[in-house]
Amino acid sequence: MKPKITILGAGLSGLLIAYRLKQLNFPIQILEARERVGGRISTFISEDTPVEMGATWFGNQHTHLRALLAELKLPHFEQYMSGAAFYEPYATNPPQMVEIPSDAPSYRIQGGTSSLIHALAKDLSAEELQLNQSVISLNFENEKVSIQTNQQAFETAIVISTLPPALLVTNIQVKPPFEAAFIKIAKSTHTWMQDSIKVALVYATPFWKNRNLSGTIFSNVGPVTEFYDQSNVENTRFALCGFVDGNLIQIQKSERKKIILQHLVKMFGAEAYNYLSYEETIWAEEPFTKSELQNEVVIYPHQNNGNPIFSQSHFNHQFYLAGTETSPVHPGYMEGAVIAADNLISQLRNKFNC
Ligand SMILES: Cc1cc2nc3c(=O)[nH]c(=O)nc-3n(C[C@H](O)[C@H](O)[C@H](O)COP(=O)(O)OP(=O)(O)OC[C@H]3O[C@@H](n4cnc5c(N)ncnc54)[C@H](O)[C@@H]3O)c2cc1C
């Protein structure tokens, strides 16, 4: 009989591992702290328009992700970049209009990035996928693992954590403890995009496209730093979406929204005020993405991502890690999450000869 495997986290990596392990007939369970699946993939349906508050784009170089999308028969389309973009290099100069070369296209998943998440999760039973279960401790004893969440206790044979490593070692008490070297590296591993603020505005008409503008902004001045068209592939729902200065976490939502709109009006004109809805996600305020500890220390982007220490198993092969920050290739990105899952599945297939 195959051992029970419990996966911590129902983001892209955790759900893909669960999907593959089910194909291999392992008994599985996923414990997810949030009330939703997807982790850093989060598509809001706002005014019937899918807008991405987390992961959005991928490229031709992301071959593992592309292969997964093909396997799941999920179509993708090219990011709309036709027409001029605004480029604002200095606060002292007015924004410039530039044409963006389209030699390295980026793509979006039709219907929203969460379509990928839902395709992976759709055949999981309520027993297999448990939401609102924030894992707080793991106890490795007598070849069994006892898991305590905020709600209840579970028992399993093998645990796979797909949490960002900094969250794992900050929020989960592990007995016996991990080695000091592992804890030190995990604590100083950057969780990609943990400080970003993503904003989306839905509009009744694509006024930018009507004026031969792509909807793109690149600004070193802010508060909007990078913005793109986020209309649907059918071109029936219209939105602009992107990143704003992460320091805007320090002000109230109403003030933040006001200055973001002022910037959009400066670029696109008064029509930018006629939005149907405004959405935002402040990722640094998401306790299941950003570890509290990393509010106090300076971590540079991708620091320790893909460190070889993450590919080691612990506690006599009862504990493994996956998740995008552990991937040796493209860590931080959806591609990294898929590679980390694929690598782990290869390890388990070798171990269990299946
Ligand atoms: C704003 C933003 C924009 C991005 N844009 C892009 C992009 O355009 N392209 C791209 O390729 N990538 C992008 N990314 C990165 C991409 O989202 C990630 O690489 C990918 O989603 C990570 O998947 P994961 O499963 O490794 O981790 P996560 O999605 O972080 O999953 C970890 C899961 O663990 C859960 N969890 C945490 N603590 C506990 C606990 N104690 N108990 C149980 N569960 C727990 C979390 O809730 C979460 O569901 C972006 C990310 C953000 C935030």
CA distances to 94, 140, 150 from 115, in Å: 39, 36, 29
How far is ligand 1, taken at its centre, from the CA of residue 163, in Å? 8
Do 187 and 321 fall within a single domain?
Answer: yes
Do 139 and 282 fall within a single domain?
Answer: no
Look at residue 277 in the predicted model and tell me its pLDDT: 98
Do 52 and 4 fall within a single domain?
Answer: no
Do 161 and 185 fall within a single domain?
Answer: yes
Contacts of 23 (CB under 8 A, 6+ apart): none
Model confidence pLDDT, tens digit, residues 6-15: 999 999 999 9
Averaged pLDDT for residues 115-143: 97
Do 207 and 101 fall within a single domain?
Answer: yes
The answer to whether residue 296 scores a pLDDT higher than 80 is: no
Residue of 242, 325, 77 lying closest to 69 (CA atoms): 77
Which of 115-119, 260-264, 289-293 bottoms out in mean pLDDT, i.e. has the lowest? Answer: 289-293
Q: CA-CA distance, 103 to 94, in Å (whole number)? A: 27
CATH number at residue 350: 3.50.50.60
Whether the CB of 213 sits within 6 Å of ligand 1:
no
SS3 label, residue 14: helix
Buried b (16+ CB within 10 A) or exposed e, 3-37: ebbbbbbbbbbbbbbbbbbeeeebebbbbbbbeeb
Do 213 and 247 fall within a single domain?
Answer: yes
Residue nearest atom 19 in ligand 1 by C-alpha distance: 333
Model confidence pLDDT, tens digit, residues 195-234: 999 999 999 999 999 999 999 999 999 999 999 999 999 9
CA of 9, closest atom in ligand 1: 34
Are 302 and 221 contacting, i.e. CB atoms less than 8 angstroms apart?
Answer: no
Do 64 and 19 fall within a single domain?
Answer: no
Q: Which of 236, 258, 286 is the last residue before a domain boundary?
A: 286
How far is ligand 1, taken at its centre, from the CA of residue 82, in Å? 30
CATH number at residue 91: 3.90.660.10
Look at residue 100 in the predicted model and tell me its pLDDT: 82
- Tell me the sheet residues that pair with 5: 28, 158
Do 103 and 120 fall within a single domain?
Answer: no
Do 89 and 33 fall within a single domain?
Answer: no
How far is ligand 1, taken at its centre, from the CA of residue 337, in Å? 8
How far is ligand 1, taken at its centre, from the CA of residue 274, in Å? 32
Residue of 81, 162, 77 lying closest to 113 (CA atoms): 77
Do 81 and 160 fall within a single domain?
Answer: no
Do 215 and 261 fall within a single domain?
Answer: yes
Averaged pLDDT for residues 32-58: 98
User: Which range marks the domain in which residue 275 is found?
Assistant: 43-112+195-286
Residue 2 burial class via C-beta count within 10 angstroms: exposed 0-12, middle 13-18, buried 19 and up:
middle
Q: CA-CA distance, 7 to 158, in Å (whole number)? A: 9
Whether the CB of 242 sits within 6 Å of ligand 1:
no
Whether the CB of 18 sits within 6 Å of ligand 1:
no
Residue of 154, 69, 144, 123 lying closest to 334 (CA atoms): 69
Do 230 and 308 fall within a single domain?
Answer: no
Whether the CB of 13 sits within 6 Å of ligand 1:
yes
Are 52 and 230 contacting, i.e. CB atoms less than 8 angstroms apart?
Answer: yes
Number of domains composing the chain:
2
Look at residue 191 in the predicted model and tell me its pLDDT: 98
